Amino acid sequence: MNDKSIIELFRNRDEQAITELKLKYDTLCCHIAGNILSQREDIEECINTAYYDIWNRIPPDEPDDLKTYLCRIVKNKAIDRLKYNTAAKRSSQLSVSLDELAECIPDRQQDDMSAKKLAEVISRFLRTQDERHRKIFVRRYWYGDSLSKIAEYFGMNEKTVATYLFRTRKKLKEFLKKEGFEHE
């Protein structure tokens, strides 16, 4: 079933929408949550909570891209669960990748611009990058893949992947600065 049909099921409050969403995207959701969380129970709870949230959000939300919409919710739920599970401990691989990004993305609390505007600028930046750099960046910071997993996926050396990411973050920081997002 295509995404538009699934969204229509949600609009009609048809419970089949959840079933269809699971059939189509459960593996992807498990991958995203699994890269952030280590406990199977946490992963399942996170995904089920995301499905429940989508049920409650559509309508009124009208996502243009159901896959991206779902992935964002799953990722945010998984990060919330990770924060809850680890409280003050910062030992996960995801924490490392988020720390890497913190070097170039400004703290939104200190910035007047909205998170949506920041996301649009980052998306625009990524469209200016060549395909390989963009995919490596997304695998690391969207899907939470490890350097070794990315290196294996692209048939590269881990150090090369780390260098690509470092250079892309540096370019992103400069791009954000030109767009009015100062980082300090």
Residues 6+ apart with CB under 8 A from 122: 105, 172, 176
Percent of the chain with pLDDT over 70: 86
d(CA 177, CA 123): 15
Mean pLDDT along residues 100-111: 63
Q: What is the mean pLDDT of residues 165-179?
A: 90
Give, in order, the Cα–Cα distances in Å from 86 to each of 37, 40, 49, 57: 10, 16, 19, 28
Q: What is the pLDDT of residue 106?
A: 67
Tens digit of each residue's pLDDT (9 = 90 or more) over 116-139: 787 788 889 999 999 999 999 988
Tens digits of residue pLDDT in 3-35: 999 999 999 999 999 999 999 999 999 999 998
pLDDT over threshold 90, residue 171: yes
Give yes or no for a contact between 165 and 140, defined as CB atoms under 8 angstroms apart.
Answer: yes
Mean of the per-residue pLDDT values for the chain? Answer: 85
Q: Give pLDDT, residue 181.
A: 77
What contacts 177, CB < 8 A, 6 or more positions away? 183
CA–CA gap between residue 126 and residue 133 (Å, rounded): 9
Q: What is the pLDDT of residue 90?
A: 47
Return the structure tokens found at 151. 């290196």
Residue 102 has pLDDT above 80, yes or no: no
Please report the pLDDT score of residue 35 as a whole number: 87
Selection from 31, 168, 175, 151 nearest residue 100 by Cα:
168
Look at residue 184 in the predicted model and tell me its pLDDT.
Answer: 54
Mean pLDDT of 30-44: 90
Question: Would you state the pLDDT for residue 22?
Answer: 95
Comparing C-alpha atoms, which of 180, 158, 176 is closest to residue 101? 176
For the cut 90, the answer to whether the pLDDT of residue 94 exceeds it is: no
Average pLDDT of span 35-47: 90
Angle at which helix 3-11 crosses helix 16-36, to 10 degrees, equals 120
Which residue in 129, 121, 138 sits closest to 178, CA to CA?
Answer: 121
d(CA 18, CA 47): 11
What pLDDT is recorded for position 158? 92
